[in-house]
Amino acid sequence: MSNCKKCVTFHSLSLSLSRFKVSMSLFSSKKEPSSKSLFTLVSDYVDQVVPADKTMKVLLVDDVTLPIISTSFSQTQLLKKGVFLVDQVRANRQRSKVKNMRCIIFIRPVRHSVDAACEELRMGKYSSYSIVFCGVASPEHLDSLARADVEQLVQRVQEAFCDLCVVNKDVFLIEHNHPDLHEITVGGGPVPRTHGLFAASIPQDKVRRLAEGLASLFVAQRRRPHIRVQKRSGFACRVAEELMRLLKNDADLYNYRSKNAVLLLLDRSDDPVTPLLTPWTYQAMLHEHLGLHHNTLHLPANVKDADPDGYVLSEQDDLFFAANMFLNWGDLCNNVKTYVDRCKSALNLDRSTATMDEIKDFMQRIGQTKSLAGSVAKHATITTHLSHVVKERDLLQVSLLEQDMVASYNMNDHFDRLQNLMKRQDIQVQDKVRLCLLFNLRYESPTQNSRVQAVLNNSSTSGYSRLIEHLRHYYGTDRNTEELFAETGVLSSIVRTFVDVGNIYTQHQPVLKKTLLKLLTDTLDQSESTQGYPYRTPAPPGGTPFKPEEVIVFMCGGCTLEEAALVHHINHRTGGVFGPNEMAQMSPEARVLLGADALLNTELFVKSLASGP
């Protein structure tokens, strides 16, 4: 009798499993999902996961779905939907029974999360359960849930294809937590290994995780893009193979038209310079010096007026941040000053002389004024601390040498300046290491003795000397590094002499710019050579140039916020990223999404290099 009951429950779960596809009301907007902000794409799914009715609810999540929710939905928005508690599904023994509340379990379809959900069902602490997976649930997962649902409390099981964490409107992460975390030693101290760069060290479960996240995005966008891969990248090729396997095994689910869409799988190793440079735009500086984790940052405890709960910095929630996140440091400081002056003006009401009309106007604006004051205080506190960091580490001098090495060729001068900085006690070890790595890439061959390796060995940075070898192995000892840097011929020197090159601290341009230009103008090499980016799906019909309108670039090994700024400028046609002739060669509708398995800053990149192949 018991076994029969379990079968009936499993049968009911299977019947209730519904996929949010085109026929459902999820995408009721006239605009297609592919044209939406990623924030909107995910929040549309969350609206279906957590319906806005008057019932009291508990939302249980796992390590992956918590940031999916938190980066696209605020706590206030959840409260309006009747969600009074958000908790980890695995923490079931810490919660009391509340039979007058509904429970929504939103998890990834992986064994440890399903096991935690099964334990929750066996305890039956709430009146009913809805189970929503952020990807494809296997029959084995459904069977486990059915066997655990002895009280038949589950009302629905659904799949919501939003298996990604949104960073910006056009930037996303598909994160993977290594189950086999261990510590490595670099520079004399232990460093947790949380992110791998070298293809041989990437576990297969991470490859599968990335492929599943990309396949989920295809469903959310209602697209099956043409897939291209950087041939020389073992990491990218493994992801492409796993993705093709998923698409083949569930062809009906992914049965969408490709239209003018392309997924381009790249490898971080194609550009190791960008994550080694000091960034100078607001969002990138925050991640570099404070650490942005799921769009939230915490200032050090000793910073005056810092909020101990941290700050949410997202372009969908913070208008000042959205308007300034890609500005350079000088423009940002000017705008913060203007912002502070505006706040002072709004709060400057002398009640002894104010007229009744002025008082009335102030009272009507008091809510907006309070919000403005809070935002001003936040950004003023953050930028003041950033200014302190810049001065304390003398990053202007460090960055000036970095950019000079990137944009010009003068080995002896750069080595002399490097040695002078290496002798200074106020320059941090991490900055000295980055300068040495950049010099090695710029001027030294893997077959010759390295001068900077000797410099590293004879200073406080001796624990980092092996990074030279790791970096060259990562980029490829057979590759010419000249393509990583600016052209330095006679003609280029003349152009730089007579043409304004802009901010000297932001001269570097990521390799991604060149790659995207070729892709968007249909000049990217399609061959199977090590220099090629071949198709892994049937190529578009020949005869006419294929200039994609929708591009998903996924960077295996992590992307930087400098590259995020590049994508933003492409999508908004700002910043002079491409010249008029280049723009004329592209589709006028071209739009790019940037994804990665990690959001890199210089510290994370160097630590990842330290783990070695």
pLDDT, residue 55, reads: 87
Bridge partners (DSSP) of residue 57 are 83, 102
The closest alpha carbon to 284, from 17, 25, 601, belongs to 601
Express each pLDDT in 538-555 by its tens digit: 888 877 788 999 999 999
Q: What is the tens place of the pLDDT at every residue in 189-213?
A: 333 445 678 777 788 999 999 999 9
Which range is least confidently modeled, 74-83, 197-206, 483-492? 483-492
Stated as kind and residue range, the H or E segment containing 401 is helix 395-407
- pLDDT at residue 32, as a whole number: 53
Which pLDDT value is given to residue 187? 38
Identify the pLDDT of residue 8.
37
306-312: long-range contacts, CB 8 A cutoff, minimum separation 24: 306/381, 306/385, 307/378, 307/381, 311/378, 311/382
- In this prediction, residues 446-456 reach a mean pLDDT of 86
Whether 255 shows a pLDDT value over 80: the answer reads yes
Q: What is the mean pLDDT of the chain?
A: 83
CA angle 357, 360, 365 (to 5 degrees): 125
pLDDT for res 116: 95
Distance CA 520, CA 516 (A): 6
The residue ranking higher by pLDDT, 462 or 532, is 532
pLDDT number for residue 348: 59
Residue 467 has pLDDT above 70, yes or no: yes
d(CA 87, CA 307) in angstroms, rounded, equals 23
* Separation between Cα atoms, residue 124 and residue 49, nearest integer Å: 20
Neighbours of 52 (CB within 10 A): 9
Rounded to whole angstroms, the Cα distance separating 234 from 207 reads 11
d(CA 49, CA 487) in angstroms, rounded, equals 52
How many angstroms separate the CA atoms of 224 and 247, rounded?
9
Q: What is the pLDDT of residue 350?
A: 47
In the structure, what pLDDT confidence band is assigned to residue 9 with cuts at 50, 70 and 90? very low
Please write the tens of the pLDDT for every residue from 557-569: 999 999 999 999 9
Q: Rounded to 5 degrees, what are φ and ψ at 232?
A: -75, -5
Give the rounded distance of the alpha carbon of 499 from its chain centre: 34
Residue 531 has pLDDT above 50, yes or no: yes
Out of 115-129, 163-177, 182-196, which region has the weakest mean confidence (pLDDT)? 182-196
- The share of the chain scoring above pLDDT 90, in percent, equals 52
Range in 60-64, 147-151, 484-488 with the lowest mean pLDDT: 484-488
Band of residue 371 on the pLDDT scale cut at 50, 70, 90: low
Report d(CA 556, CA 237) in Å as an integer: 10
User: Is the pLDDT confidence value at 265 over 90?
Assistant: yes
Per-residue model confidence (pLDDT) at position 109: 93
Phi-psi region of 394 (alpha: psi -120 to 50; beta: other; left: phi over 0): left
Looking at residue 224, its pLDDT comes to 92
User: Which whole number is the average pLDDT over 335-354?
Assistant: 66
At 216, give phi and psi (nearest 5°): -65, -40
Kindly give, in sequence order, each residue whose CB lies less than 8 Å from that of residue 533, ignoring residues fewer than 6 positions away: 228, 229, 230, 231, 264, 519, 524, 525, 526
Structure tokens at 521: 């103008």
What pLDDT sits at residue 15? 42
Q: What pLDDT band is residue 374 in, cutting at 50, 70 and 90?
A: confident
Q: Does position 491 have pLDDT exceeding 70, yes or no?
A: no
Element spanning 571, H or E: helix 561-572
Element (H or E) spanning 560, and its range? strand 559-560
Res 475 pLDDT > 90: yes
Q: Check whether 373 has a pLDDT greater than 70.
A: no
Average pLDDT of the segment spanning 355-371: 50
Question: 107 has which bridge partners?
Answer: 133
- Higher-pLDDT residue of 606 and 180 is 606
Beta strands in 32-162 (DSSP E): 57-61, 83-88, 102-107, 128-133, 154-159
The two tokens of residue 281 are 């735009």
72/365: higher pLDDT: 72
Residue 105 has pLDDT above 50, yes or no: yes
Whether 58 shows a pLDDT value over 50: the answer reads yes
Indicate if the pLDDT at residue 74 is higher than 90. no
User: What average pLDDT does the segment 573-577 reach?
Assistant: 78
**Residue indicated by tokens 């510290």:** 603
Q: Which of the two residues, 459 and 490, has the higher pLDDT score?
A: 459
Q: Phi, psi at residue 483, to the nearest 5°?
A: -70, -10
- pLDDT tier at 359 (50, 70, 90 boundaries)? very low
Beta strands 128-133 and 102-107, pairing class? parallel
Residues 6+ apart with CB under 8 A from 19: 158, 159, 161, 219, 253
Residue 95 DSSP SS3: coil
Query: Quick one: pLDDT at residue 539?
Result: 86
Name 583's Cβ contacts closer than 8 Å, sequence gap at least 6: 573
pLDDT digits (tens, 9 = 90+) for 579-599: 888 888 888 889 999 999 999
Pairing of strands 171-173, 591-596: parallel
Q: Is residue 293 scored above 70 in pLDDT?
A: yes
The terminus-to-terminus CA distance of the chain in angstroms comes to 56
For residue 301, what pLDDT is reported?
86
User: Taking 60 as the threshold, does the pLDDT of residue 602 lie above it?
Assistant: yes
Dist CA 562 CA 555 (whole Å): 13
Pick the range with the lowest mean pLDDT from 94-108, 189-203, 313-327, 420-434. 189-203
